[in-house]
Amino acid sequence: MTLQVTEITNLAIDLIGVRKTYRKKVQALRGVNVQVGRGEIFGLLGPNGAGKSTLVKIMMRVVRADAVMGTVLGRPLGNKNKLAVTGYLPESHRFPGYLTGMQVLDFYAALARVPRPVRRSRAPGLLDRMGLTRWADRPTREYSKGMLQRLGISQALMNDPELIVLDEPTDGLDPMGRRDVRSMLLELKKAGKTIFLNSHLLSELEMVCDRVAILNEGLVARQGTLAELTQRTVEYRIRTSGDLQAIRGEIEKRSGTIRNGQIVLGGRDAQGVNELIDLLRQNGHLIEAVEPHRLSLEDIFVEALGQSTAAPAVSQTGGRKA
């Protein structure tokens, strides 16, 4: 019964010090720590080549880590019983073209030790949910990229997994498809599943993730709940009419800065905002807007990569590709 002690941990994924160097040259992961709670949607974010897929592949035994400690679902990495209750959608996966959609689900679920009657009863429902019913008996070589992606997600759900690991799940999907995936993720979360997802699409993560980690050059640069990360810094932006240069000194005395013709005040300092407004009024400026500004995940992301969040061009774009 000592075994059960580790099960009690409420972390679905608890990996410490993950290192991987490919062919003695490419340092893909340089000591990564990730903790994912049970029932959470966790997003791993990072630019191309950051090592996101490598981390997922290590979790799924596709790649062997040079060093790794910790557990997945309370068991050491690669435990077969836990793999049997894990669903995995690899990045740019390929199914044998000769298998039909139905056969794909049946074949991979058989490898995941799902009994035949369960496979038979579960597959049609998943195909239906992914809008593939009409294609169930067509070979997958006739599928479009989006259909393959949806089939891939169905495949990852065939074993009714406790943990679902998705590498770029919305890759190749149109906006409608993306929305479907998002609502499905939330549905799965409601059913108590843990979801680990890789994405370079910031907006996607922002909409569904409870917690995120930002991976850069093989290291976790930030990790936390979205609220923790984004509410950490708030700034106020004041838009006015007229030339601010004349009172620049006064503004800066009150820790404001002028950026893009707007006054920006860092921190959550409502008192400071009011002092600035008084100053502007006294000088005959018309206040057009006062906006509290939460940093977006993207701002955090860019900041984590060591660039300035102040660059206006960056904060204007939404959901930039990483």
Ligand X SMILES: Nc1ncnc2c1ncn2[C@@H]1O[C@H](COP(=O)(O)OP(=O)(O)O)[C@@H](O)[C@H]1O
Check if the beta carbon of residue 193 is closer than 8 Å to that of residue 169: no
Q: Report the alpha-carbon distance of residue 87 to residue 164 in Å, rounded.
A: 5
Measured between alpha carbons, how far is residue 272 from residues 105, 136, 250 in Å?
Answer: 60, 62, 13
Q: Report the alpha-carbon distance of residue 31 to residue 38 in Å, rounded.
A: 23
Is residue 107 close enough to count as binding other proteins by CB under 8 A? yes
Least gap, CB of 48 to other proteins (angstroms): 16
Among residues 155, 16, 176, the alpha carbon closest in space to that of 86 is found at 155
Residues 22-81 that bind other proteins (CB under 8 A): 22, 57, 60-64, 80-81
Residues 27-66 that bind ligand X (CB under 6 A): 28, 46, 48-54
Is residue 170 close enough to count as binding Mg ion by CB under 5 A? no
Residues 151-170 that bind other proteins (CB under 8 A): 155
Q: Which does 98 bind (CB under 5 to 8 A by kind): ligand X, other proteins, Mg ion, none?
A: other proteins
Is residue 296 close enough to count as binding Mg ion by CB under 5 A? no
Strand partners, 96: none
Closer CB to ligand X, 50 or 214, in the complex: 50
Closer CB to Mg ion, 71 or 199, in the complex: 199
Q: Report the alpha-carbon distance of residue 315 to residue 309 in Å, rounded.
A: 7
Q: Report the alpha-carbon distance of residue 243 to residue 162 in Å, rounded.
A: 59
Closer CB to Mg ion, 62 or 287, in the complex: 62
Phi-psi group of 70: left, alpha or beta (phi > 0 → left; psi -120 to 50 → alpha; rest → beta): left
Residues near ligand X, by CB under 6 A: 22-23, 26, 28, 46, 48-54
Residues near other proteins, by CB under 8 A: 22, 57, 60-64, 80-81, 83-84, 86, 88, 90, 92-99, 103, 107-108, 110-113, 115-116, 155
